[in-house]
Amino acid sequence: MEVNITREDIIKELMNLYIGQAASLMSEITNRKIILSVPEVKILIGKEQVAGLVMPECQNNGALMVSSIKFEKDLEGMAKLIFPANKIKKLTSIVLEEDLLEEDFYSLKMEFSDTDYDIVKELGNIVLNSVVGGIANLIDICAEYSMPQVKLFENIDYEKLIEPYSQVLLTFVNFNIENEEIFGAIIIQLAFKSMKDLLEKVEELRSNVDEQDL
Amino acid sequence: MNRIYKKALGATNHGILIIDEQLKIVFGNTFMEELLGIYPDNMIGKSISEILPKFKDKTLQKILHMVIENNQKLFLSAAQHKYFALPRNNCENAIRQNLNVVSLEVSGRKYALLEIHDVTNQFLRVKQLKSYIAKLYELQKSLDHNELKYKTLFDNIDVGFIYCEILWDKKGNIDDIVITDANNPFLKTFYKTKESVVGESLVEVGNALQKGFGDRMLSRLARGKNIRYDDIYIKKFDGYFSVTGYVCGGDGYALKIKNITQRKANERTIKKLAYFDQLTGLLSRNVFEKVLERKIQRVKRGGKPFTLMFIDIDNFKELNDSFGHDFGDKVLVEIAKRLKKTTRQGDIVSRFGGDEFLILNSDVESVDIGKKIAKRILRQLSIPLIIGERRIRLKVSIGISICPHDSCSKTELLKKADMAMYSAKEVGGNKFMFFQDYSKSMEKA
């Protein structure tokens, strides 16, 4: 029986593995049960393909909070973890064990403090380090990371988040923290060579899987 | 050169430690010395967990190893970890520090640079901000509660209210007044629904209630005057209303519309009680005396003479005693009707009290006219009355004084008419007598 495994399937599995490691570390740090899963990945070439993207939970509220890191040397690019801004309060209150009511989320949801930014920065840092580190290890090259940055974007504008002419690996991520679902996304922009290396490696893995199936 | 680097790292206002792959300290800056009270040279070679007990935590050790091995950079927040280097004499709950961990590779050996940033002030600021926001939210909730309270009051008070927004044109003139809310009593009184009123022009709604009413309100506001109508009759709803406007901050305007129909009816009843005799419906004595006073003044200013008739029913007491007060009352009512019927237009009839009546006959230019009226009254009242199954024939005595001939004083005129009436009664009743005749007869006597 022929199993049609796409490169997206392989990347999805890899991403699940990397963010699974991040989730494990985050669970240890926060003393919370954190489960991360990857419902979907997309490989996008060029800015045009990104323009039409809509994050499922951002349709009615455009604000986004983005934690990002740069990496260079052999693996070159930028990684961003994106959360709908209206979910940030829920995320931070769970992490900080703050007892906020639903109505408090409503009233406070767009009032972000340094504490909120720092938590997103730390969580994003761990997830992105894990994913980028995983990709670097996979293609057996070295990456140098920057310290994470967090920014709030008022409107959904994926084009602003992505450098022109870059190759993009888009991964939707489901954060399950203490049974609260928070939907986010990871955008990994890779330089042309880095994406080529990654896709070649993925193709190699896919061939291996196909051969095993045969 | 090493000394320069050491000095530079020491001069920074955050703690710096460099650790190797075994997590042993290879450098600590002067900030760390000040913070922990340990001389930097005494830190070197010791495990990080010995100097900073926080790092006894296996997860933190794992993170440090991970950063060093994978050549990463990591940020750990005070929000989640509180602190990393606990200062001497400091309560751990009071201190907040962020930690940056950066991997280094020097001469093939791997290290981690730890930067400890004190963010206690920032944390306290956030805490205060959160407390401020929480208070603000409490206030908002309280305001919402108050709004609900006033909304409940607004909808349940028995006075109609509508809120409006004044719209201005470019020249600063009122362009329109749009209704933004209306309470239940208003809607109920004028058989409207909220949907049919909100968003509509006050001018149009006003004009629909009564022709021109909306235009009049607009005109008052345009002239900078407040809307105030104490007593307006709206034919369509057969009722009286008072309408008062209030400026409600900015361009807001409220109108209070009170149905005063019942109040007006009550006022009419009270007026009637004061002005009219309850039994006969004739003018009360008080009102009659005021009219009499005015008539005297008119005569004094050259007006035409008038006569004052004092009428008393002969033997009314016996009638009352024989047939009861109810019967007597019915007789009085019937007499009042006949007196009204007999007098001319402009003459004033009043019940003076008991079985006494007063008539003011205006413009009596000669005694003859007075006589004619008196005769007519006697004739009218001599017609038998049928009350129930009884038929009775009444007799009355009438005394007449003339103004200005007899006096130009109210008291004197009343007194003289009364005296003439008694004189008529003394000579057998069923007669009239002018005071001037009575006076002459007295003079002769």
pLDDT digit string (tens) for B299-324? 999 889 999 999 999 888 888 888 88
Q: Which long-range contacts (CB under 8 A, 24 or more apart) does A116-119 make?
A: A116/A88, A116/A89, A116/A92, A116/B79, A117/A65, A117/A150, A118/A150, A118/B75, A118/B77, A118/B78, A118/B79, A118/B80, A118/B98, A119/A91, A119/A92, A119/A95, A119/B77, A119/B79, A119/B80
Q: What is the pTM of this model?
A: 0.54
Half-sphere exposure of B30 (CA within 13 A, CB side): 10
Q: What is the mean pLDDT of residues B181-185?
A: 89
Query: Looking at residue B19, what is its pLDDT?
Result: 93
Using the predicted structure, report yes or no on whether residue B270 has a pLDDT greater than 90.
Answer: no
Question: Are A28 and B59 in contact (CB < 8 Å)?
Answer: yes
Total residue count of chain B as it appears in this document? 445
Strands B73-76 and A167-177: unpaired
Q: Provide, rounded to the nearest whole percent, the portion of chain B with pLDDT above 90.
A: 27
Residue B156's φ and ψ, nearest 5 degrees, are -110, -10
pLDDT band at B356 (very low <50, low <70, confident <90, very high): very high
* CB interface of A with B, residues 148-207, below 8 Å: 148
Using a CB-CB distance cutoff of 8 angstroms, which residues of chain B are in contact with residue A92?
A: 79
Q: What is the mean pLDDT of residues B424-441?
A: 84
Using a CB-CB distance cutoff of 8 angstroms, which residues of chain A are in contact with residue B98?
A: 118
Query: Looking at residue B220, what is its pLDDT?
Result: 86
Question: Are B63 and A25 in contact (CB < 8 Å)?
Answer: yes
- As a whole number of angstroms, the distance between CA B81 and CA B95 comes to 11
Using a CB-CB distance cutoff of 8 angstroms, which residues of chain A are in contact with residue B59?
A: 25, 28-29
The size of the A-B interface in CB pairs under 8 A is 79
Q: For residue range B98-157, list pLDDT tens digits in order.
A: 999 999 888 889 999 999 988 888 778 777 777 776 777 777 777 777 777 777 777 777
Query: Looking at residue A160, what is its pLDDT?
Result: 66
Query: Looking at residue A97, what is its pLDDT?
Result: 74
Query: Looking at residue B1, what is its pLDDT?
Result: 47
Using the predicted structure, report yes or no on whether residue B397 has a pLDDT greater than 90.
Answer: yes
Query: Looking at residue B445, what is its pLDDT?
Result: 59
Q: What is the mean pLDDT of residues B234-263?
A: 86
Check if A59 contacts B (Cβ < 8 Å).
no
Neighbouring-strand partners of residue B112: B19, B103
Check if A147 contacts B (Cβ < 8 Å).
yes
Q: For residue range B75-97, list pLDDT tens digits in order.
A: 998 888 888 888 776 666 678 88
Query: Looking at residue B127, what is its pLDDT?
Result: 74
Using the predicted structure, report yes or no on whether residue B382 has a pLDDT greater than 80.
Answer: yes
Question: What tokens does A127 get?
Answer: 């997830």
CA-based nearest residue in chain A for residue B58 = A28
Q: For residue range B198-221, list pLDDT tens digits in order.
A: 889 999 988 988 888 889 888 888
Question: Are B126 and A125 in contact (CB < 8 Å)?
Answer: no
Check if A144 contacts B (Cβ < 8 Å).
yes
- As a whole number of angstroms, the distance between CA B252 and CA A180 comes to 45
Q: What is the mean pLDDT of residues B322-332?
A: 89
**Contact in structure between A190 and A167 (CB atoms under 8 Å):** yes
- As a whole number of angstroms, the distance between CA B277 and CA A48 comes to 97
Which of B327, B348, B214 has its CA nearest to residue B283? B348
Question: Are B129 and A118 in contact (CB < 8 Å)?
Answer: no
Query: Looking at residue A12, what is its pLDDT?
Result: 87
Beta strands in B46-88, from DSSP E residues, in sequence order:
73-76
Query: Looking at residue B221, what is its pLDDT?
Result: 85
Chain A: closest CA distance from residue B47 (Å): 21
Using a CB-CB distance cutoff of 8 angstroms, which residues of chain A are in contact with residue B81?
A: 29
Query: Looking at residue B324, what is its pLDDT?
Result: 86
User: At B337, which amino acid appears?
Assistant: K
Q: For residue range B335-348, list pLDDT tens digits in order.
A: 999 998 888 888 89
Residues of chain A with pLDDT under 70: 1-4, 45-62, 99-111, 155-166, 210-214
